Amino acid sequence: MSINKRIFLLTFLQGLYPGTLGQFWIFPPTLQALSNSYIVIPCSVTGAFGANPHDVIWYLIDGEEYIEIFNSRDASRISPMYRGRTSLVSKEPGDCTLRIDNVRFKNDVWYYPGIHNRYNVYNPYEFCVKISVVDLPQEPGGQTWVFPGWMQALSGSCVVIPCSMANSASQDVIWYRFSQEIEIFNNRETSGIAAGYKGRTSLESTKSGHCSLRMEDVRLEDDAWYYPGKDDKNNAYNLRKSTIKLQVIDSPLQPVIHWTGNMTEGRPIVITCSVEHTCLSNPPRLQWNKPGEKGREYQTNFTDRFWRSISELVYTPSSQDHDSYIKCSAIHHRGKTSYNIAHLNIQSTGTKTDILVIYLPAIIGLTLILLIALMCWRCGKCKQCFACRIKGNETAQASGAPYVDLQKENVGRDYDKLKKKNDRQVPVTETKVDELCPYENA
């Protein structure tokens, strides 16, 4: 498998959900730990489920079993062997970095992170981190070097490779580039340092037991394997075959945007933007595309090899910004830029009024339709009744009878009037009126 594949920049597409939810995991493929010491496994995740630090789970692969060694939501599920020894280094959004205390000696073990028992790096022994635990003393004379097996650095920036020495009677430190076997740093004799590294490498600290290497102005050609030592015989490669892979990338990591809760018009909310880097002396600058009051801007050292730049923006949502995007840009040393955007869904304070305005015309229209239908139903009866009246008038006129108003309330009065005026006419009784127009009594 190529080293690029083993960087573990993993994308998971969740097709069972509306839209596509992407997850991007970053953690090293191998690490080394000292027995009875502690180890920090750097890890970050971005995407829809990467925002909540309270849902992180770490697993141990033990044969056919997958044992929970850390669970931020339910500690009762953690294996008794790891309970009380594992914790998250940070509660920052997207940070899944794990710390294991009191490391116990065991042959190589493999771990992988996940979220909620549903979304994890499920590809055992391929997409996982291998931890090699060493017990002191390791090398002849008790000399031991401890350093990571992989690191990532941005070209044009700087990087610090953490390293510690144990049981060393000498403070001589030399760093070598593997395969070419050239010196890239020597704290005793600088004349032997390769020309391409001279003036760019130094020790991060001169304290006893420290061998961390600092490299400035990282170049693409620095992408290689390295190892520390005292000389060409006493070194990590000759004694243990240990090296570190420094992977140099030309494009910076994408920042992460996060806020808590819903956005409501007129109510200020704190939005954070963070990005990981390896160069504290030249950290990236973070910029926003939305106006607001600038909050804190600071650096955090969340692992022994990565830093995080964080910027806070106190943003007041407005209706004009609804359905737009907020953008955070990270401007790295020498001008390299990365950015991320987040969709703004802003709730209006007049939501109830807006709903009433939207549905009121529909309610009025439905009411009018019902009234018209009722009138039409009634008019159908009236129309039949009107036909009956005409028929009754025509019958009365054909027999020579004068016009009779057949309205029910006038029947009695008209009947008496007609009878007095013309006794020869056949009286129009109320019963016949009802027969001619039965709908009058409906």
Q: What is the dihedral of CA 403, 407, 409, 410, to 10 degrees?
A: -10
380: which 2 tokens? 């159908």
Q: What is the pLDDT of residues 408-434, one digit of tens each?
A: 445 455 555 555 555 544 444 444 444
Cis bond leading into 53, ω under 30°?
no
Give the CATH number of domain 256-347; options: 2.60.40.10, 3.40.50.2300, 1.10.1040.10, 3.20.20.140. Answer: 2.60.40.10
Distance between CA atoms of residues 43 and 54, nearest Å: 15
Integer angstrom CA distances of residue 306 from 21, 122, 145, 155, 340: 26, 25, 20, 15, 20
Tokens of 405: 């108003």
**What average pLDDT does this structure show over 161-179?**
82
Provide mean pLDDT across the span 265-293.
Answer: 89
Token look-up 């590809």 returns 123
Domain 136-250 falls under CATH 2.40.50.180: no
Which CATH homologous superfamily contains domain 1-135? Immunoglobulins (2.60.40.10)
Q: Is the pLDDT of residue 123 over 80?
A: no
Pair of tokens at residue 262? 């819903």
Q: Which of the residue ranges 212-226, 271-285, 302-316, 425-439 would you say has the lowest mean pLDDT?
A: 425-439
Of residues 241 and 398, more confidence is placed in: 241
More confident residue, 247 or 403: 247
Percentage of the residues of the chain whose pLDDT score is greater than 90 = 22
Residue 127 clears pLDDT 50, i.e. is over it: yes
Domains 1-135 and 136-250 share a fold: yes
Task: Say whether pLDDT at 348 is over 60.
Answer: yes
pLDDT of residue 34: 74
Top pLDDT among 22 and 99 is at 99
**Residue, of 367 and 304, whose pLDDT is higher:** 367
User: Residue 185: its pLDDT value, please?
Assistant: 96
**140 pLDDT tier (thresholds 50, 70, 90):** low
Q: Mind listing the pLDDT tens digit for each residue in 257-274?
A: 988 888 999 999 999 999
Question: In the chain, where are the structural domains located?
Answer: 1-135, 136-250, 256-347, 351-441
> Which amino acid is residue 57, in one-letter code?
I
Three-state secondary-structure class, residue 244: strand
- Mean pLDDT to the nearest integer, 317-325: 90
Give the pLDDT score at 125.
44
| Mean of per-residue pLDDT scores for the chain | 75
The larger pLDDT score, comparing residue 66 to residue 408, is at: 66
Whether the Cβ atoms of residue 388 and residue 436 lie closer than 8 Å to each other: yes
- Report the b/e string of 425-434 with b at 16+ CB within 10 A: eeebeeebbe
